[in-house]
Structure 1
Amino acid sequence: MSFETPDFSLALPEIWLLGAICVVLIVDLFVRGSRRSVTFFLTQAVLLVTAALAITTQWGVTETTFSGHYVVDPLAAMLKATLALLVVLALAYTRPYLEARGLLQGEVYLLALFATLGMLIIASGGSLLTLYLGLEMLSLSLYALVAYHRDSRQAAEAAMKYFVLGALASGILLYGMSMVYGGAASLELAVIAEAAASEEPPLLLLFGMSFMLVGVAFKLGAAPFHAWVPDVYQGAPTPVTLFISTAPKVAAVALFLRLLVDGLGPLHETLQPMLLILAAVSLLLGNLTAIMQTNLKRMLAYSGIAHAGFIVLALAAGTEAGHAAALFYVIAYGIMAAGAFGLIIVLSSAGTEAEQIADYRGLNERHPILAGVLLLLMISMTGIPGTIGFYAKYLVLKAAVEADLIAMAVLAVIAAVIGAFYYLRVLKVAYFDRPEVPPEGSQKPTGPNEGSVGEGEGATPSRPDGAAGTVLVPGASLPIRALLVVNGAAVLVLGIFPERLIALCQSVLGAG
């Protein structure tokens, strides 16, 4: 490994973010009560500046520094800007929910900023060491966020499951990295790629690649490494679930591109069968299990596993078009997931969690605009033309067909048709069912402390039959509801005019 004087200007987004985290921490020490919003607005400003720095300092630049540990290229610039903006969107939804429950503390925003810093490091990871450090910074922040509501039994249980399974996945990933290091005698991805491209690549590289795939699949939420997803999505406070379902998914794709494409890309033929198995299991298990859910957060969790199957299928193609399709898909999913969980937040008042599908009975009669947003989000996740979800699925299927993965493309189409059932079921409840209000005194608030994670696969103790839904009253302010409408409109606008985003994803991966 050669040592050189690092070019700190190339790492300006990370340096800025780390310094800004220290400032936010100090500022938060001196604000209390109603002034806590200062931390929120300062955090949002920091993230917007981070996105701007990523574009202005790294776009069009292709260099490595810090002795090969840090990579700057258009892909890194795009990933960092996307990650920062998704975190801005996720945090924008959190404030009214946390305020209503007395949970608005600076720790939420500090943990989110540390998680963002970890994701930025992954985006520019040029070595096994850098990637692992970024991943652990992200993971530890997420564990703490899931357990943030200390008085919630569900959150504590979900955090414990997430931590134990996450630690196991991180250990397996690190074991794989140690094998790759032993086979290539280097931590740098460029040197590892040279060793993998040799006529007889070391056997340790093949074993290490298999173990590292486990860690990547865990972060992506792909089956059979998905056990944490439904419990964490349901048990964590909804703003935390929203956060986990957006930017970290993009970071997981970035980890795959850096680790298994830039580093071990020459071994793709060996990796492809494993990816195809992951894709097939995720598509079938995610969609079939989501049908049985009555809890909307849990349904969206299994739906996320199915979406991970599409992403893995695109990566399994092993082509630049496939990688671009995976990048486009995960960005599209981040926008859709933010809107879906944002809707749950907007409809959750201080005493009620809008988690049950039955809660959405007659939503169109009571809140037609919010029902319209729900319509756009559900048809986009289904993949109906005119929405961003359609083009996401189309690009994946196109890349699979071009890579002669015809059978997998057919399976993906069948899985998408199965998935349409539970998405359209939510719309049926919102548009065609009438709200049934339980008798006075028979219903109690369905707060996050009730029951345990996964209890009854949906129905809460207050509604054992799951028949009657709560009359939902939006608990968010007008600006948050306006943001939700804009989020839903983005799904439609990007579905009608997807060309620029598609071209951007293709250009940064050389598929244009």
Structure 2
Amino acid sequence: MSVLIIVFLTAVAALFSGVFEKGKFARYIGIFGLIVALYVSFLPEASFFEKYRLMYEYGQNTALFTKISIVTTLLLFFLGGFAFSNHRNHQSELYALMLFALCGGFVLFGYQNLVTLFLGVEILSIPLYVMAGANKTDLRSNEASLKYFLMGAFATGFLLLGIAFIYGSTGTFDLYRIHDFSTVNPTNGMFILGVVLMLCAMAFKVALAPFHMWSPDVYQGSPSLITAFMASVVKISGFFALFRLMTIGFSGVTQEWINILGVFLIITLLLANAMGLAQTNAKRMLAYSSVSHAGYIGLVFFGMNALSTYTLAFYLFAYSLSTVGVFMCLIWVEKLKRETSYGAFKGLAKSEPLLAIVATISLLSMAGIPLTAGFMGKFSLFAQALTKDNNTFLVIVAVLGSAISIAYYLRLIIAMFFFKETTFKTTERVSITYNIVAVFIIASIIALGIFPDLFAKQFGL
């Protein structure tokens, strides 16, 4: 909870900095606060917060996911100077809202009961509804904000109704007491209905089909840095919240929801990758890519073992690094070309080779090509699922989806590298900050692909 308080106070400071300097120092305040929070996340939790353990517990798993979300947010803040250069009058609000949303993510990492889960989901979601519409003069951005808000409110209704059914049948909000009830009463109809409703609501938050409809339009219409935040930090938060809910609270009725989740994953993997092939816009393609990765991540629920939490954390961190790597390239191109079609990337490797390289390695990692972190993440998830024979079909679908994804990732790589003439007629060059972030992402993706144990060492496991 110390980390949560630090980031919250940082968000308040960043917000009020806009009163005096129009947000000039908000990014630096955010970076400083995140670095302090990252340092504190490696320290034992203060004993003062023991009294709140029934609501929020900062255990080892909570600390792990807190660290990877802070690192990812830090990388995005480093990119913010260029990405938010056309939001000079309200930069402080955007940085503050990102930090407030991150606070919601922290709550989801350590929630102990369904009330805290609901608070975490709303603290995470409400700033995103505002940030999606940050480009006030852009109709796509306005549409993204409105659509995300309306669909989010609908999903919140599902979540609250599910919580009501769970409470009505168990008489408690506590995850562990709910687990005890589910073990003793695995056929309780009201309880199972609540489980299904909550699963559907959380499937919306992580963009699992068929609850993904909002994702492509919202990702395309939102400012690109905000889209990167949604595709990385928000996905980390949503999936670990779902993981805690299903494996702690609802583990006693696993047979009642695991097949439903399996159907969601199959639809997600086939539909998202097929739609990704049909896209002509790189940003929209990455939206469907994000949906497809929700399908891969969902495999963590199949063939569960003692390493499942670590496998989930590794994959989410690898995917988040790749997401930041691709989006830093997309942000640069979008600023110069004011579009994100595949054609806008033609010849990028000739004018900004480092940007093209980081995007390429990130895309290869997303596709699961060997010697990248994404390959090790997918291999771990597939291997875990294959420990049970009845998951074979699901893994085959995931492998097929991964193979299809290579095609649309290659389209972007070909556009960047295989055109003789560059379309970037500008003297503007990538800043030193971008170059440093690019080198860090390239090194991290390759290092984790060759030496995956580095992840455990760096995050204190």
User: What's the TM-score once normalised by structure 1's chain length?
Assistant: 0.85
Task: Give, in whole Å, the separation in 1 of the partners of 2:457 and 2:208.
Answer: 27
1:249 counterpart SS class: helix
The structure whose Rg is larger is: 1
Go from structure 1 to structure 2 and tell me whether the alpha carbon gap of 1:397 and 1:67 turns closer, same or farther (over 3 Å shift). closer
The answer to whether structure 1 residue 174 and structure 2 residue 128 are counterparts is no
The answer to whether structure 1 residue 210 and structure 2 residue 164 are counterparts is no
Amino acid of the structure 2 residue aligned with 1:19: L
Shift of 1:346: 2.6
Shift of 1:340: 0.7
How much is the aligned-residue C-alpha RMSD, in angstroms?
A: 2.3
Task: Give, in whole Å, the separation in 2 of the partners of 1:377 and 1:213.
Answer: 30
Task: Give, in whole Å, the separation in 2 of the partners of 1:31 and 1:15.
Answer: 24
Where does residue 356 of structure 1 map in the other structure? 341
The answer to whether structure 1 residue 501 and structure 2 residue 452 are counterparts is no
Higher alpha-carbon deviation: 172-181 or 474-483: 474-483
Shift of 1:53: 1.8
Amino acid of the structure 2 residue aligned with 1:45: F
1:99 counterpart SS class: coil
The answer to whether structure 1 residue 14 and structure 2 residue 4 are counterparts is yes
Amino acid of the structure 1 residue aligned with 2:120: G
Aligned residue among 5, 21, 27 for 1:40: 27
**1:133-148 pair list within 5 angstroms:** 133-148=119-134
The answer to whether structure 1 residue 487 and structure 2 residue 444 are counterparts is no
Maintained 8 Å contact 2:31/2:74:
yes
Maintained 8 Å contact 1:119/1:134:
yes
Shift of 1:480: 1.8
Task: Give, in whole Å, the separation in 2 of the partners of 1:16 and 1:366.
Answer: 41
Maintained 8 Å contact 2:24/2:92:
no
Amino acid of the structure 2 residue aligned with 1:94: G
Aligned residue among 357, 372, 382 for 2:357: 372
Where does residue 95 of structure 1 map in the other structure? 81
Task: Give, in whole Å, the separation in 2 of the partners of 1:182 and 1:474.
Answer: 61
Go from structure 1 to structure 2 and tell me whether the alpha carbon gap of 1:322 and 1:279 turns closer, same or farther (over 3 Å shift). farther
Where does residue 248 of structure 2 map in the other structure? 262
Write the deviation string for residues 237-285 of structure 1: whole angstroms up to 9, x where unpaired.
1111111111111101121122111211222122110111111111111
Shift of 1:502: 5.7
Amino acid of the structure 2 residue aligned with 1:370: L
Go from structure 1 to structure 2 and tell me whether the alpha carbon gap of 1:430 and 1:67 turns closer, same or farther (over 3 Å shift). closer
Task: Give, in whole Å, the separation in 2 of the partners of 1:498 and 1:67.
Answer: 32
Write the deviation string for residues 383-427 of structure 1: whole angstroms up to 9, x where unpaired.
110000100110111011013211111111111111111111222
Shift of 1:64: 6.1
Write the deviation string for residues 152-176 of structure 1: whole angstroms up to 9, x where unpaired.
1110001111111111011101111
Aligned residue among 397, 402, 421 for 2:382: 397
Write the deviation string for residues 162-205 of structure 1: whole angstroms up to 9, x where unpaired.
11111101110111111111111101111111101115453222
**1:192-211 pair list within 5 angstroms:** 192-211=178-197
**1:463-482 pair list within 5 angstroms:** 476-482=430-436
Higher alpha-carbon deviation: 164-173 or 321-330: 321-330
Task: Give, in whole Å, the separation in 2 of the partners of 1:406 and 1:64.
Answer: 43
Task: Give, in whole Å, the separation in 1 of the partners of 2:396 and 2:267.
Answer: 14
2:279 counterpart SS class: coil
Maintained 8 Å contact 1:250/1:330:
yes
Shift of 1:236: 0.6
Amino acid of the structure 1 residue aligned with 2:71: L
Go from structure 1 to structure 2 and tell me whether the alpha carbon gap of 1:102 and 1:475 turns closer, same or farther (over 3 Å shift). farther
Aligned residue among 427, 432, 435 for 2:418: 432
Aligned residue among 258, 268, 276 for 1:272: 258
Task: Give, in whole Å, the separation in 2 of the partners of 1:69 and 1:149.
Answer: 37
Higher alpha-carbon deviation: 117-126 or 362-371: 362-371
Amino acid of the structure 1 residue aligned with 2:431: S
Write the deviation string for residues 106-139 of structure 1: whole angstroms up to 9, x where unpaired.
1011101110111111111000000100110110
Shift of 1:379: 1.2
Shift of 1:493: 1.7
What percentage of aligned pairs have identical amino acids?
A: 27
Task: Give, in whole Å, the separation in 2 of the partners of 1:179 and 1:81.
Answer: 34
Is there any run of 5+ residues in structure 1 with no aligned partner, and where? 1-10, 438-469
Where does residue 117 of structure 1 map in the other structure? 103
Figure out how many residues of one structure are paired with residues of the other and give that number. 459
Shift of 1:477: 2.0
Go from structure 1 to structure 2 and tell me whether the alpha carbon gap of 1:88 and 1:273 turns closer, same or farther (over 3 Å shift). same
**Structure 1 consecutive aligned stretches of length 4 or more whose deviation exceeds 6 Å:** none
More helix, by proportion: 2
Amino acid of the structure 2 residue aligned with 1:317: G
Maintained 8 Å contact 2:270/2:401:
yes
Maintained 8 Å contact 1:253/1:327:
no
Go from structure 1 to structure 2 and tell me whether the alpha carbon gap of 1:72 and 1:368 turns closer, same or farther (over 3 Å shift). closer
Go from structure 1 to structure 2 and tell me whether the alpha carbon gap of 1:482 and 1:277 turns closer, same or farther (over 3 Å shift). same
**1:165-314 pair list within 5 angstroms:** 165-314=151-300
1:105 counterpart SS class: helix
Go from structure 1 to structure 2 and tell me whether the alpha carbon gap of 1:333 and 1:425 turns closer, same or farther (over 3 Å shift). same
Go from structure 1 to structure 2 and tell me whether the alpha carbon gap of 1:174 and 1:339 turns closer, same or farther (over 3 Å shift). same
Task: Give, in whole Å, the separation in 1 of the partners of 2:174 and 2:311.
Answer: 26
Shift of 1:23: 3.1
Go from structure 1 to structure 2 and tell me whether the alpha carbon gap of 1:473 and 1:170 turns closer, same or farther (over 3 Å shift). farther
Task: Give, in whole Å, the separation in 2 of the partners of 1:82 and 1:133.
Answer: 21
Task: Give, in whole Å, the separation in 1 of the partners of 2:204 and 2:338.
Answer: 28
Shift of 1:101: 5.4
Shift of 1:49: 1.5
Shift of 1:471: 5.1
2:57 counterpart SS class: strand
Task: Give, in whole Å, the separation in 2 of the partners of 1:235 and 1:131.
Answer: 28
Task: Give, in whole Å, the separation in 2 of the partners of 1:170 and 1:302.
Answer: 23
Task: Give, in whole Å, the separation in 2 of the partners of 1:491 and 1:251.
Answer: 21
Where does residue 126 of structure 1 map in the other structure? 112
The answer to whether structure 1 residue 334 and structure 2 residue 320 are counterparts is yes
Shift of 1:29: 1.8
Task: Give, in whole Å, the separation in 1 of the partners of 2:173 and 2:399.
Answer: 40
Higher alpha-carbon deviation: 125-134 or 45-54: 45-54
Task: Give, in whole Å, the separation in 1 of the partners of 2:63 and 2:199.
Answer: 24
Maintained 8 Å contact 2:175/2:248:
yes
Maintained 8 Å contact 1:348/1:472:
no
Shift of 1:56: 0.5
Task: Give, in whole Å, the separation in 2 of the partners of 1:123 and 1:320.
Answer: 18
Task: Give, in whole Å, the separation in 1 of the partners of 2:2 and 2:457.
Answer: 26
Maintained 8 Å contact 1:90/1:338:
yes
Task: Give, in whole Å, the separation in 2 of the partners of 1:200 and 1:296.
Answer: 46
Shift of 1:15: 2.5
Amino acid of the structure 2 residue aligned with 1:331: F
1:149 counterpart SS class: coil
Maintained 8 Å contact 1:52/1:81:
no
Where does residue 69 of structure 2 map in the other structure? 83
Where does residue 19 of structure 2 map in the other structure? 29
Is there any run of 5+ residues in structure 2 with no aligned partner, and where? none
